[in-house]
Structure formats: C-alpha cells, structure tokens
Amino acid sequence: MSLKEIARLSGTSASTVSRVLNHPEHRCNNPELYEKIWENAAKLKYTPNKAARNLRLGSSDSNKTYTVDILLARFDSIDKDMFFSELFQHIKEELLASDCILGDVLHSVDVLDLTNGLQKSDRLPYRSRLTSNGASPAPNVIPRKDNTGLIILGKCPSQLIPVLKKRYACIAGIDRNPTDYEYDEVVCNGTTAAEKAVEYLIALGHKHIAYIGDCTYEARYIGYCQAMLNHSLPLNHANIYPTNQTQEEGCRAMLSIIGSEPRPTAVFCANDGTALGALQAIKQHKKRGYLPSVISIDNIDASQKVSPMLTTIDIPKKEMSHLALMLLLDRKNCCHEENVRLELPCRLIERESCSYLYE
C-alpha cells in the first residue's frame, strides 16, 4: 500500500508520512497526526522498513526478516493505558531501527476465553488490533509462525505462559512486576518505585498517606505498605482504594477521599493515569481548601502538561523497549539460553503536585 494512500487518509503529505514511518528518530510536531498516521498504516497493513520491502520484493535477505508480535497482558486495547501506549510507540521505533516488522497485537482476554481449546492445540487465538475498515474482527486462529518473537507488555496471567511458550521460541516481557524467571524480561521494579514515592512524601512530613491502585499481589501496593511499615506509620485500610488504575477510577477514588474524615494529607497513585484523575477531582473541589500532595509512577508525557504538574517516578520506557528487542534478537541468534532479567533504575521527578506539610 502506497504512502500516498496513508497520506490521503491522514490528511497530510506523503513526505510527512514517510518521515514518520521510515525514520524512528523523527518527532512529529503534531502528536495527533503522528498517531493518525500509525493507525492508518496499521489499517492498511503497511510495513515501511527495509525488511518489509525485502519481503515484498522477494529479496534474498527476506528469510532474515524478524517479526515481533505484541501481547497486551493487562488491557484489551493499547489506548486504555497511557504508559503502555507510550511504551508501544517506543517499541515500534525500535523495530524500525532494527529492520524488524511489527506483527499482530494480541490481547490476553481473547486467549484466556479459549484456554481449554489451546491445551491440545497447536494454534493460538488472537485478535488483530484493527481491520481495514477500523473495526475489531472476531477471534481467529493462526499457527505458530517461524521467525516470530513475542513481547509481553504488563503482567502476564500465569496460566497463559505455558501456552505462549509452545508457540513462541523467543519471548521478552516489559513490566514493573518481575516474574520468577519465566521468560526473558526487562523490568523497572514497581516495589522499589513505590517505596521511593512514599519515602519522598514521608520526607515532606506526611504521615497519613492514601493509596489508589491495584491491590492484588501488585508490586506497587507492596512497596507502599513496606515504606509505611519501615517508618512505623499506620496502615489505615480506610485510606486504601482498590482500582483498575484508569483515570476515571482515579477521579472517583479521589472524590471518595475528599468526602472522607479524617482525610489523608497525601495520596500515592499506582500510575500517572490514576493520578491525573485524582488531580482532576481535587481541582473540581478546590474551594473546600483541601489540597493533598499527589505522587505517582510512570512519567508519561501528560504528567507535565497538567496543572499542577505531576510529581512522579520515571520509568525508562525507551530503554526498556530497546533492551526487550535486543533480548529477543539475542535469543533468536542462540546467544543465550537461560532466562534473563534486566532491571533498570527508576528516578524521582520533582514537580508541583507535592509540597511540605506544615503542622
């Protein structure tokens, strides 16, 4: 499919489309246009890099082309989590830079719905992200593909891992929660990130700190509890708000906090999306004079575009994407056999949403 057709659907020039799709280092001035170009390229199944051109032209190098599928382990759409959405963009850039091809975007919910059939089958159900008309197709079944790896985004359900291993010789995961060396993975430890966030609030003088986020064996929740206990601060279960870590649920949880008594002086949100919802709720009710400090984890682009700018713990998304692909290619080339875990550091980004507590 030509660049001209993608340009027509995106409302821009073919040269702009070429720069976005063929040059990973290019940064489009219009983020919405950037997204639209990639979406239309996906709809038309356009593969712009050198490897894809080799495949189309029947080049002798085509047998070396490597395809990478993506599994969304937490959500059924890349648009539902801003952290993984940005991570996905970095992965696409890394694939282009390495002359690899983006394959199918899979969703664990589709696989789990048909788990019983998978146990005795050589086929993996999946749902492609988009069809040519933008609709989501019904689940299909595909055989295991040669020369194809898998990158898992998020915490993969344990019952799905053996199934995936039967269908992919090379698997790498990216997450804040490490597995028990089930496959190659690149992590930025969520427990460490949470402890760093809560330690910062405590250093500012806060003792009554609420938690908004996932509480089901989640590393960030464990880090929150550990930091509180390390400073002999009470774990008040009334200040713990379990959510699915979306902006909408962050707003609802913060509204509950605003209506509670006594209210915490600070709030730790498990991710930036939740924190953006919490800040929205605080802004809507600022006349009540309640302005708690808010901190979270991820450092997505939107965290510095909100008012007040969000204090957060940076997760190095670009580096994680790069290393995950490097692990896939290294295993593909038989350069390592043991499952490898690469752990990257996190760092505090101090902004306006946190302040000292003066009592």
Q: Is residue 294 domain-resident?
A: yes
Residues 178 and 241 in one domain: no
Q: Is residue 349 domain-resident?
A: no
Return d(Cα 205, Cα 184) in angstroms, integer. 40
Q: Which residue has the higher pLDDT, 1 or 234?
A: 234
Return d(Cα 187, Cα 173) in angstroms, integer. 8
Question: Is residue 196 within 8 Å of residue 350, measured between CB atoms?
Answer: no
Q: Which residue has the higher pLDDT, 8 or 76?
A: 8
Question: Is residue 347 within 8 Å of residue 312, measured between CB atoms?
Answer: no
Residues 236 and 339 in one domain: no
- In tens, the pLDDT along 110-141 reads 565 545 444 434 444 443 333 344 444 444 44
Give the pLDDT confidence score for residue 57 in this predicted structure. 52
- Measured from the Cβ of residue 80, the count of other Cβ atoms closer than 10 Å reads 16
Give the pLDDT confidence score for residue 127 in this predicted structure. 38
User: In this predicted structure, which of 54-68, 90-104, 130-144, 265-279 has the lowest mean pLDDT?
Assistant: 130-144
Side-by-side strand order, sheet with 66-72: 100-107, 66-72, 148-153, 171-175, 184-187, 341-343
What is the pTM assigned to this prediction?
0.77
Q: Is residue 283 domain-resident?
A: yes
Residues 184 and 63 in one domain: yes
Question: Is residue 249 within 8 Å of residue 274, measured between CB atoms?
Answer: yes
- In tens, the pLDDT along 170-197 reads 999 999 888 899 999 999 999 999 999 9
Q: Is residue 168 domain-resident?
A: yes
- In tens, the pLDDT along 309-345 reads 999 999 999 999 999 999 999 999 999 999 999 999 9
Give the pLDDT confidence score for residue 265 in this predicted structure. 96
Residues 237 and 328 in one domain: no
Residues 194 and 273 in one domain: yes
CATH code of 223's domain: 3.40.50.2300
| pLDDT grade for 279, boundaries at 50, 70 and 90 | very high
Domain range holding 83? 59-188+317-343
Total structural domains within the chain:
3
Q: Is residue 67 domain-resident?
A: yes
- In tens, the pLDDT along 292-313 reads 999 999 999 999 999 999 999 9
Q: Is residue 356 domain-resident?
A: no
Question: Is residue 178 within 8 Å of residue 343, measured between CB atoms?
Answer: yes
Residues 182 and 205 in one domain: no
